Structure 1
Amino acid sequence: MNGPIDTNSWQYRQINARAPGLSYLANALIDLVEEGYPVVAGTADLQYSNGLVRFAQRFPERFTQFGISEQNMVSAAAGMASTGAMPFVATFASFLALLCCEQIRTDVAYSALPVRLIGHHAGISLGFYGTSHHATEDLAIMRSIADLTVVAPADGPQLAAAVKASVNHAQPIYFRIGRGQEPVVYDDGVDFQFGKAIVHGEGSDLTIIACGSMVHPSREAYRALRAAGKSVGLIDMHTVKPLDTKAVLSAAAHSRFVLTIEEHNILGGLGGAVAEILAEAGSPARLIRHGIRDEYSLIAPPTHLYKHYRLDAAGIEATVLEALG
């Protein structure tokens, strides 16, 4: 189902102009191929939306356009992995996590095959496309599947670092990423270790634990709060499974409050994972889960949705101040 790539097309030019973060995925895969890794890639009719058109142009023999056939794509990726290939397959996070859950569980994870699943346009980033395209349950679903690593990079550089680190990771991985328009948090070449959180700062009043697209607004809120004299910490919990237990318990030991921030239902995702650790450890720190509060997300431009759900920097800052009284 592959065809020639029109680099003068509107779609190709829009990827370059409007979603620069997506170039990190394709470029990282291109680098891995050039380093000798048996990387192959595929998508379900979304090569322009996820930027894999760049990879297809460079290595057409390693790219498969599956069409609108997401479940078959995941099963085919499992088959490719069983032959020694290193497949990366991508589609909208809502389709990948929900529609393909059975194939991910049985064909990929149960079979212990090193497939890399890229769920892009996660959370509410698709805005006007509505509930069917919003992925606010995917973290909960994916982290409940045994032997599946779940990662939510904050930006393009961290995604590239995670993709390159995955070549030494035996388990299948679910990467949860945005739409390529996320502000940059890290420099190119940022160090990445699965299961090892990045601590931006410690605080005695409250520690923010964020993942994915919420790291940047959380960092903006963190800086404003610190400038206002609040003792606030910040952790980038890029690996939602396995969670960095030591980082969570250290934050709870030093802060009165722990606040999780996620572009996801507060049930079962990052907040749920942190709650499990704190409860099992008997931590006295109070946990506050901030995200979408067990409801179907509204339909609006992403910027409006982030403001409505208080998932922008101002909303996160206000949530912290409310917690601190």
Structure 2
Amino acid sequence: MRTAFIDTLRELARKDDRVFLLTADMGYSVFETFMDEFPDRFLNTGIAEQNTIGIAAGLASRGKIVFVYSIIPFVTMRCFEQVRLDLAYNFMNVKLVGVGAGLTYGPLGSSHHALEDIAIMRSLPDMTVLCPGDPIETKELVKRSFEYDGPVYIRLGKNGEPKIHSDGTRIEIGKSITVLEGSDLALITTSNMLETGKRWVDEWKQDGINASLISMPSIKPFDSFTVENLIDDEIPIITLEEHSVIGGLGSIVSEVIAKKGKSVKFQQIGINDEFSHIIGGHDFQRKKFSLDAKPSLKFIE
């Protein structure tokens, strides 16, 4: 996803000299091509995330389209007051790009884990929240965020997520994408769990269960219409995310179900209300939180 992001940003920067990139002491191997091509539109601010947001707001106030790149906790939580007041409150045209969704930076511990970011960022008025699941969604949503005049948070994975969509797929803010059709149940994923979701749906098909796979990269605005159709059709729903079960995709779908006022079978899969106190790689962490194996489908019987 990181490569898709920077390649797309370079394309946009060639077309529009308002594009400006800030990073807080990271991404050297990722940004070398951008730095070489646009040295006057790149700034490494160092480990000073609060100051970085202030700089971004200032640049945006002078007409720049600013992208700020850092590890998720540092571009959301460490500088949240500045994001809230400098960007969201003033509706600045700044795009926050966080890398390392969920437990991606497993060995670095809770300081680098991103389990609360969706909940935090979607609570901000006027903040658009995008969580691409593969390089195609990343490329498309970087373009859509560039076209959108306002603050955006983009949540990226890191570990070489494969392409799920075909080249040329159009991804829109506020819309979901039905990757696979099915009528027995619907699996809705967001962010870096799209690959896992596709594997589960493929395995269920071998077991005779015809499930649909829906990617939900746009968290805010949210595609409530698709979820409401599933409720009307009485199709059981499972949500899958590498994020806390509080405030993320599952919570949003729960809200849609509650507002709809109709009963539907529903299961939420994510990180329980806890920190990871054990150090280990990404795969190890996913296994610890039971994100690596298909759930039981007894709830749909």
Give the TM interval when normalised to the shorter protein. Answer: over 0.9
- CA deviation digits over 1:110-165, x for unaligned, max 9? 10111000011121000110111101000000000000000000122221111112
Which of residues 93, 97, 105 is equivalent to 1:114?
A: 93
Which of residues 309, 314, 320 is equivalent to 2:289?
A: 309
CA distance in 2, matches of 1:287, 1:324: 8
Bigger mean CA deviation after superposition, 277-286 or 124-133: 277-286
Which of residues 51, 55, 65 is equivalent to 1:86?
A: 65
CA distance in 2, matches of 1:168, 1:226: 39
Equivalent pair of 1:206/1:255 in contact (CA under 8 Å): no
Equivalent pair of 1:203/1:254 in contact (CA under 8 Å): no
- CA deviation digits over 1:164-190, x for unaligned, max 9? 122221221100011142222223333
CA distance in 2, matches of 1:171, 1:291: 29
Aligned counterpart, 2:114: 135
Q: Alpha carbons of 1:227 and 1:102: their partners in 2 closer, same or farther (altered >3 Å)?
A: same
What letter is aligned with 1:83?
R
- CA deviation digits over 1:260-318, x for unaligned, max 9? 10100000011111111110111311221101011102421101112222223xx1x2x
Runs of 4+ in 1 over 6 A off after TM superposition: none
% identity of equivalent residues: 36
- The reply on whether 1:38 has 2:14 as its aligned counterpart is no
Unaligned runs of 5+ in 2: none
Aligned counterpart, 1:241: 220
Equivalent pair of 1:210/1:218 in contact (CA under 8 Å): yes
Unaligned runs of 5+ in 1: 1-20
Aligned counterpart, 1:9: none
SS at match of 1:131: coil
- CA deviation digits over 1:176-216, x for unaligned, max 9? 01114222222333311001100123433321110010011
Deviation at 1:93, TM superposition (A): 0.4
CA distance in 1, matches of 2:56, 2:299: 45
Deviation at 1:37, TM superposition (A): 4.7
Query: Which TM-score applies when normalising by structure 2?
Result: 0.95
- The reply on whether 1:321 has 2:297 as its aligned counterpart is yes
Which of residues 284, 289, 298 is equivalent to 2:268?
A: 289
Q: Alpha carbons of 1:30 and 1:67: their partners in 2 closer, same or farther (altered >3 Å)?
A: same
SS at match of 1:176: strand
Which of residues 185, 193, 213 is equivalent to 2:192?
A: 213
Aligned counterpart, 1:65: 44
Bigger mean CA deviation after superposition, 279-288 or 212-221: 279-288
CA distance in 1, matches of 2:32, 2:50: 21
Equivalent pair of 2:25/2:45 in contact (CA under 8 Å): yes
Equivalent pair of 2:71/2:100 in contact (CA under 8 Å): yes
Deviation at 1:57, TM superposition (A): 2.1
Equivalent pair of 1:202/1:251 in contact (CA under 8 Å): no
SS at match of 1:52: helix
Deviation at 1:253, TM superposition (A): 2.4
Equivalent pair of 2:2/2:99 in contact (CA under 8 Å): no
SS at match of 1:117: strand
SS at match of 2:96: strand
Aligned counterpart, 1:8: none
Which of residues 260, 280, 290 is equivalent to 1:300?
A: 280
CA distance in 2, matches of 1:320, 1:32: 44
What letter is aligned with 1:122?
A
Equivalent pair of 1:161/1:189 in contact (CA under 8 Å): no
Which of residues 232, 236, 240 is equivalent to 1:261?
A: 240
CA distance in 1, matches of 2:168, 2:57: 29
Deviation at 1:256, TM superposition (A): 3.9
| Root-mean-square deviation over aligned CA pairs | 1.5
What letter is aligned with 1:32?
L
Q: How many residues align?
A: 300
CA distance in 1, matches of 2:298, 2:111: 33
Equivalent pair of 1:204/1:255 in contact (CA under 8 Å): no
CA distance in 2, matches of 1:58, 1:255: 53
CA distance in 1, matches of 2:178, 2:167: 18
- The reply on whether 1:231 has 2:210 as its aligned counterpart is yes
- The reply on whether 1:161 has 2:168 as its aligned counterpart is no
